[in-house]
């Protein structure tokens, strides 16, 4: 392998290693997983609040049912007295009639409140089922994500180890002079090696002079006169 090919390969391996380390950092940070865990906590809290609301509403329904039963008993007793024919005093009958109307109004109001409470309970139960389902589903997703993350981290760590080993081996095959040149340019350019596109440096898109092209044809290390990058002919 020619020196320029080695330097090009060195650049490729370094870029792959940088990308692998970046991927590992993203996986280790686990931002998406942390967001899902927080959402899972929120869903559990919502479900706990819904259960409290369900319990409170059930107690309220029981109270209203008992109250309604008592009111109906009292209403029927009053109705029996009112229409039983035992009371002849018109004034007293008038008072009892008003009491009956008031009782019927209160019964109707209580029945309305009971219906609202039952509807509210149904709404809470429906929301609770939906929240519980979402919480369970998200919990399963989080477990899978944690498992997948660990597998991916292990895979990337293995890749990093392999790339590091390949880089170390490749560097032993490149002369100190060429490595120093590579590192010098790398400190100043984002990519120290540029491939040729016909007779043009892809690093700066400038035409290369004949002398530089001649050096490349001889297999020697040459740099772009414009951007200073090491030139690689490629295939």
Alpha helices (runs of H) in 84-209, residue ranges in sequence order = 90-172, 176-186
Element (H, E) at 33: helix 31-83
Position 10 pLDDT exceeds 80: yes
Residue partners of 110: CB distance under 8 A and separation at least 6: 64, 67, 68, 71
Q: Given a cut of 80, is residue 94 above it in pLDDT? A: no
Q: Residue 87 has what pLDDT? A: 65
**Nearest of 229, 167, 204, 9 to residue 216 by alpha carbon:** 229
**H or E stretch including 46?**
helix 31-83
| Six-digit token string for 74 | 């009292």
Q: Please state, in angstroms and rounded to a whole number, the distance separating the CA atoms of residues 233 and 9.
A: 12
Which residues 6+ apart lie within 8 Å of 187 measured at CB?
none
pLDDT higher than 70, residue 84: no
pLDDT digits 0-9 by tens, 129-153: 999 999 999 999 999 999 999 999 9
pLDDT higher at 92 or 185: 185
Q: What is the CATH number of domain 10-173?
A: 1.10.287.1490
Residues whose CB falls within 8 Å of the CB of residue 133, separated by 6 or more in sequence, listed in order: none
pTM: 0.63
CATH 1.10.287.1490 segments of the chain: 10-173
What pLDDT sits at residue 79? Answer: 75
Task: Centre a 10 Å sphere on the Cβ of residue 221 and count the other Cβ atoms it contains.
Answer: 19
Q: Which residue's entry shows tokens 């107690």?
A: 59
In the predicted structure, residue 85 carries a pLDDT above the cut 70: no
**What is the predicted pLDDT for the residue at 235?**
64
The set of long-range contacts for 183-189, using a CB threshold of 8 Å and a minimum separation of 24, is 185/223, 185/228, 185/229, 185/230, 188/228, 189/227, 189/228, 189/229
């Amino acid at each position: 392998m020619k020196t320029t090919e080695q330097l090009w390969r060195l650049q490729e391996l370094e870029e792959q290693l940088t990308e692998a380390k970046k991927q590992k950092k993203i996986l280790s940070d686990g931002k998406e997983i942390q967001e899902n865990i927080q959402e899972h906590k929120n869903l559990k809290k919502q479900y706990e609040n819904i259960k409290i609301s369900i319990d409170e509403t059930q107690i309220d329904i029981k109270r209203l049912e008992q109250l309604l039963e008592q009111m109906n008993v009292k209403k029927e007793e009053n109705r029996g007295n009112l229409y039983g024919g035992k009371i002849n005093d018109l004034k007293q009958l008038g008072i009892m009639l008003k009491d009956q109307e008031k009782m019927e109004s209160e019964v109707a109001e209580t029945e309305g409140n009971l219906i609202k409470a039952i509807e509210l309970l149904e709404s809470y139960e429906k929301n609770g089922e939906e929240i519980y389902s979402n919480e369970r589903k998200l919990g399963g997703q989080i477990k899978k994500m944690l498992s997948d993350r660990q597998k991916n981290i292990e895979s990337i760590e293995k890749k990093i180890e392999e790339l590091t080993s390949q880089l170390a081996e490749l560097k032993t095959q490149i002369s100190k002079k060429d490595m120093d040149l590579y590192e010098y340019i790398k400190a100043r350019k984002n990519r120290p090696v540029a491939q040729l596109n016909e007779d043009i440096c892809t690093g700066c898109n400038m035409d290369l002079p004949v002398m530089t092209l001649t050096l490349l044809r001889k297999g020697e290390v040459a740099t772009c006169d414009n951007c200073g990058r090491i030139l690689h002919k490629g295939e």
